Structure 1
Amino acid sequence: MLDRRPRLVFRPIDIPDLVAGVRSASELDLPIAVRGGGHSVAGHAMPDGGFVIDLSRWRSAMVDPERQVAEAQGGCLLMDLDVATSAHGLAAPSGTFLDTGIGGLTLGGGISHIVASEGFACDALTGAQLVTADGRIVEVDDATQPDLLWALRGGGGNFGIVTRFRYRLTRIGPMYAGGLVFRGATADVLARLFTLDRDAPDALVLKANVWSEVDGSPIAKVNVAWRGEHDAGEAAIKELTSHPALVEANLRPMSWLQLQALNTPWPHGLR
């Protein structure tokens, strides 16, 4: 568990307020950390003796369905972005937990249920507004700051405080998703999974977790996300569902928003 005590937690109300806070931290020679969703398991948002800029109130997300573009404030959670985009039949490749902050997710890469067809969350980033360490406001896109945009795409949060993200969106239709649980023969299950994943179409995304039960029995759980109709999804994973070690299958057709809500948010304190 992390036990850190920042010197100050600052909740700016707008951009001028944020700029003033950044300049104050610089004058006091305090290290600055940014808290978006507070989802960092490494505790990057809570440095000892630091100046924490808490963007948790900055949660507005807007969508231009014609241009298939979304703009979201730096404190947005994944749920804010998903609800806004799914209302128009659109999605941003992002993450898999609704309570994840989009800031750390995007700046760190971001793996989603459509990563095979759309890339990482950072690949969909087309622009941003950020405040630099000296308090300057910078608009970033391919035309004005191409090198900085490249750096923001997975390079982490050390280039400035991103106050607004702009994402390229994709049309999203029905999904077929859920989990498969296998008991025993995990090596063979994983071998099948790797072969299937290597040759599968980009509509299929597979993720595996392996652990041992109390009695020592090896368990493998495979999370499945198929972008398309359920019959095609069933055919795509037949090599897994026909395995004799399969003991539980929980797969069903669902919407994008239902899929995004499958992973239950963690209670605060279990970060």
Structure 2
Amino acid sequence: MGARAAAALRRGFRGQLITPGDPEYDAARTVWNGAIDRRPALIARCTGTPDVLLAVEVAREYGLPPTVRGGGHSIAGHAVCDGGLMIDLAPMRNVRVDSARRTAHAQPGATWAEVDRETQRYALATPGGLMSATGIAGTTLGGGFGWLSRAYGLTCDNLLEAELVTADGRVVTASAAQHPELFWGIRGGGGNFGVVTSLSYRLHPVGPQVLCGELYFPADRAPQVLRAVRGHLRGAPDQLFALCLLGIAPALPHLPADLPGTPVVRIAMCHVGRPERGRGAMAPLRALPGVLADTVQLRPYTAWQQMFDPGWGPGARNYWRAEYLATLDDRAIATLTGHLARITSPLSDIRLAFLGGAIARVGPDDTAYTHRSAPYLLSINSRWERPAEDAEHAGWASELWSAMRAFSSGGVYVNFLGQEGPGRVLEAYGPVKYRRLTALKDSYDPGNLFRVNQNIPPSS
């Protein structure tokens, strides 16, 4: 079937087709998470919307489940499946900025590094992910949060319109004015409704330099540090975003020589706005006792966006669990710090994002993204190199997640969701929104062609 599909694609496809046995095949099927090892029947590297249209048509006609690769960074590895047709959008990565209108128009193969590079030429940006190597399309479709989100909202809140190829071969533009229900659904509902071929974003004044950096504390200070950040962020300006990380200190040139390899708690901070106001907003945290290293300084925004990239490159094996938290009381803090003491890999960490601000001010029903009122997002990121250690490291993450469910607000961020089953997809949206998304699926993909994702199946 894959050979027949390839022959059909070759009749009009302008991009590159890769099949098993081709020299490029193994590299082309590889995604960021090294624990994913799947073999598609065909890989179609698209050059534009006509290629995507043809790929969707061939997948439908020949019964090959299509997968969509943008940045390939999904923890679940949904960019690839066994025996499917990978629609690879990586060649489609053009970014165009309209500085007068403060908008950016980007193709879905672009990463945040590429978008930031172009928008920062004009000291503009839109909220992206926490790492520059992440693809923009997956980030946006699942919601998207990062260093700018308390100030300017989620990535999907700044989406102005998107072009999609639907399951029945139409090219539609979704915006507030066109296909508004589809526009609602793609802002958080993932890739369930079509293949996005372009995205337009609202931009905001950012940089080109921002006050940002990390504070490092010994692990035994973690309870005091987490309580301090919890209290401070309740009254901090929206321009300040903070993320706490519990793990093993990395080996970085700007850290003291004796710090790498030791358990630490870190506060990563970024302030969007005037540096003097940022210094004031960060001062109480920088004054906490026990600081081992303080790397806060003015940096280019593009440099800060890349600070977490080196420790999270492709190839390692990854297993994540995540949960929105309703509370961060002393019991929750004790649970987190207790599991830090039992961390199984120096590459793993526990991350706690402090939300609120502009994220929470968007109406709860305005987008498919849910859980806007949750004050904290916990992500437990286990990461290791050797397959023989899979059970050990995944077990550590699962054990901590189970223990933290007692503090949950009742949901999960879909972009941090692994292969956890339909019940967890329901938790990502809640029953009311899930029913609305199901109705949308009935309208745009009643045959569930796009099912290799955090799937919302049609009702029939």
Aligned to 1:176: 211
Alignment match of 2:240 (pick from 204, 211, 215): 204
Q: Deviations over 1:156-197 (max 9, x none)?
A: 111100000010111113410010001122111100000111
Q: Which has the higher helix share?
A: 2
Residues in 2 aligned to 1:99 and 1:111: alpha-carbon distance in whole angstroms: 14
Instruction: For residue 100 of structure 1, give the secondary structure of its aligned residue in structure 2.
Output: coil
Aligned to 2:222: 186
1:241 aligns with 2:286: yes
Once the two structures are superposed, the pairs formed by residues 51-130 of structure 1 within 5 Å of their partners are: 51-130=85-164
1:268 aligns with 2:314: yes
Residues in 2 aligned to 1:240 and 1:17: alpha-carbon distance in whole angstroms: 51
In the alignment of these two chains, the number of paired residues is: 270
- Give the structure-1-normalised TM-score: 0.94
Determine if contact 2:248/2:264 at 8 Å carries over to the other structure. yes
Residues in 1 aligned to 2:248 and 2:129: alpha-carbon distance in whole angstroms: 27
Instruction: For residue 194 of structure 1, give the secondary structure of its aligned residue in structure 2.
Output: helix
Aligned to 2:84: 50
Q: Which amino acid aligns with 1:61?
A: V
Residues in 2 aligned to 1:181 and 1:13: alpha-carbon distance in whole angstroms: 45
Instruction: For residue 268 of structure 2, give the secondary structure of its aligned residue in structure 1.
Output: strand
Residues in 2 aligned to 1:206 and 1:191: alpha-carbon distance in whole angstroms: 13
Residues in 2 aligned to 1:144 and 1:113: alpha-carbon distance in whole angstroms: 30
Determine if contact 1:57/1:75 at 8 Å carries over to the other structure. yes
Instruction: For residue 258 of structure 1, give the secondary structure of its aligned residue in structure 2.
Output: helix
- Give the structure-2-normalised TM-score: 0.56
Residues in 1 aligned to 2:139 and 2:270: alpha-carbon distance in whole angstroms: 20
Determine if contact 1:125/1:167 at 8 Å carries over to the other structure. yes
1:165 aligns with 2:199: yes
Residues in 2 aligned to 1:22 and 1:150: alpha-carbon distance in whole angstroms: 23
Residues in 1 aligned to 2:275 and 2:204: alpha-carbon distance in whole angstroms: 20
Residues in 1 aligned to 2:294 and 2:160: alpha-carbon distance in whole angstroms: 38
Determine if contact 2:165/2:194 at 8 Å carries over to the other structure. yes
Q: Which has the higher strand share?
A: 1
Residues in 2 aligned to 1:217 and 1:261: alpha-carbon distance in whole angstroms: 23
Alignment match of 1:19 (pick from 53, 57, 79): 53
Q: Deviations over 1:8-30 (max 9, x none)?
A: 11112232222111111001112
Q: Deviations over 1:202-232 (max 9, x none)?
A: 010000011368xx97521110101123332
Residues in 2 aligned to 1:11 and 1:36: alpha-carbon distance in whole angstroms: 11
Residue ranges of structure 2 left out of the alignment (5+ in a row): 1-34, 250-260, 319-460
Instruction: For residue 200 of structure 2, give the secondary structure of its aligned residue in structure 1.
Output: strand
Residues in 2 aligned to 1:159 and 1:40: alpha-carbon distance in whole angstroms: 18
Q: Which amino acid aligns with 1:182?
A: F
Q: Residue 217 and residue 15 in structure 1: after superposition, are their counterparts in 2 closer, same or farther (change >3 A)?
A: closer
Residues in 2 aligned to 1:198 and 1:264: alpha-carbon distance in whole angstroms: 29
Determine if contact 1:92/1:124 at 8 Å carries over to the other structure. yes
Residue ranges of structure 1 left out of the alignment (5+ in a row): none
Larger radius of gyration: 2
Q: Which amino acid aligns with 1:269?
A: G
1:226 aligns with 2:261: no
